[in-house]
Amino acid sequence: MKFLSYDTKEKKEFLTEIRATDVSAIKAYIQTWVPDYLMRVLRDTDFYYQLFEWDRILKLSYVVGFPWRCYGAYTNYRLDGLLCLGVEGENLKIEYIATAPWNYTHEDAGKMRRIGSGLICFTIKSSIDTKRQGRLLLNALPDAEGFYDRIGMRPTGNMNDSGLKEYEMQTDGASSFLKKFEKYLVV
């Protein structure tokens, strides 16, 4: 899937593509494309978690045999987001979703917008393609709960073992979200 992301520093749109990814693609990206100044910033533990856990999560999914499929959001060869999907009952489940830290924290880098929404759009479309009518589940980090509320997901009242609230997207919410995001899709 391709969509238009928006760089707030350059004030222009860029083509972002979501495609299957694996551990070697993420490692190659980290070694090749992450600028030196960003590497210095990423030593902070919050940044470390957001970027460098990606390869650990992917590796774990393959070694332990979790039924995850992993996708990256790439903008001009730069990995701007990561998504790992599984199945839970009749729903597609987002096991892991993250945007790169420079998309929301570092002053020197452009902040790419629509990456998280693009990953959600991809998930809804995958849910529809697999006859799940757009339904999906995820466990939200507290800082992300507002985003999920805004895009039409609702808390189920359940929590996982880590105390994260479970959110769900129902068919009507998925349809509404797709209508709002379709203007950014590139066919």
| pLDDT tens by residue, 57-92 | 555 555 544 557 889 999 988 888 888 888 888 889
Per-residue pLDDT, 61: 55
Task: State the pairing for strand pair 136-140/12-20.
Answer: unpaired
The lowest-confidence range among 49-53, 82-86, 157-161 is 49-53
Residue 16 has pLDDT above 90, yes or no: yes
50 falls in which pLDDT band (50, 70, 90)? very low
Q: What is the pTM of this model?
A: 0.82
**AA letter at 54:** W
Q: Looking at residue 164, what DSSP letter applies?
A: P
Per-residue pLDDT, 73: 93
Backbone angles phi, psi at 114, to 5 degrees: 80, 5
Cβ–Cβ < 8 Å for 73, 115: yes
51 falls in which pLDDT band (50, 70, 90)? very low
Q: What is the enclosing helix (H) or strand (E) of 159?
A: strand 154-159
What angle in degrees, to the nearest 10, is found between the helix axes of 23-33 and 45-64?
150
Task: State the pairing for strand pair 91-99/136-140.
Answer: parallel
C-alpha of 161 from chain center:
21
Residue 46 has pLDDT above 50, yes or no: no
Per-domain residue ranges for the chain?
2-21+68-186
Per-residue pLDDT, 138: 94
Cα distance from N-terminal residue to C-terminal residue, the chain = 8
CATH architecture of 2-21+68-186: 3-Layer(aba) Sandwich (3.40)
49 falls in which pLDDT band (50, 70, 90)? very low
